[in-house]
Structure 1
């Protein structure tokens, strides 16, 4: 009987160890930023500062962009480094920058019909962005060159907490549910929100923040694995390939994180 108990305990402990992701600490770098945009596939680093300037930093140079007339930058999306998305929520506008941080396209929703009151924006494929229209309570795949929506969801109830996307999928986090859509707008997953606060993408999977802890979600959102980390203030977090980044407001911490 005792042998059976020991075998059972060992099996449970092994299973638990497999379910927990143990990242490897790489380094920490001090940085003062308002928003960490992240790293692109060329290892360029993007961030904003208090004066609403946007910066791109590579191994040799730092390039900047600023448009003080638009006010505060609400979000930065550098998933496509050739079409960088800066969202100015207070003025209901966004700007597309090229890889030299030149302003190549600007959309002011206040001047377009039908009017959209946008709260969140994230990069889509081709000439599209995913956006949430607060007035209609709909998620839209918006073609900014043709000024039309390629997709509109049914009205979605609940406060919107986060919106992330890549060329293939879009994830919408509300206070009630977490939704996943494919690039055409078909909803492929929907689960209850059990305390998730923010989301980030890595290798077409999600990392979610819940009660100051991070978890990796499965592709169909059906399971999650805790990511074992030291006690850190998680102000912002993001991932690229196999690296997890956590910003605590003063330092950007790098962790090696194999997700597949």
Structure 2
């Protein structure tokens, strides 16, 4: 028989390669015991059942080989909203909050705004904007039908009605030219030539959402070159990119007729998000 306290400790020991072993152990046990961490701390001396112990160590085993906690819990918080996630979508990351914050800042003076999101995945970007801009019309495109199902579940769970989901490859489902005031995207930007075995933290996430040709720049370049056709006069494009790609993004934005180009850094001081305005 093991107490909750002992089980947390044993789980953390099995996750010695994780930088957040204690937290991971606590979160996984919370899911098994169906309680939050506050409740967990108040009941540390309670005895767990054999079934609970077995289920817990099944999750610990998966976590020990690198499966993200978010996939094991089917849950990830993003900007204080709870999102369902599975292995058909990327796990939402803190650096993407910079992209959402910028979109909200750039839309604060005009609530009735048309926004196009490319590559919505779990829908965390579109949903986060929609929650704070309920009068905005947001169209969110996603190539993966499995990801679209996840995004739709999240929109339903969050009771969001001003986001329309479409299946397609970037701009392909869109027939409305010069309609959107803003195009926003967190596209694949990791080079598809890297040794994926070295990327333990992301190897369980969908390749289609991570990797891009041309040293990770293929999809960024495609979006930048096609966006002007769909943007209104003085429309804006907001892009998340790799920390070494900012210069290339700025160069291609300028080449495709954008001005007022600016790059913003994430919490790690890496150049992460770039904005450009369409000139005409």
TM-score normalised over the length of structure 2: 0.27
Normalized against structure 1, the TM-score is what?
0.29
Structure showing greater radius of gyration is: 2
* Structure 1 or 2: more helix by fraction: 2
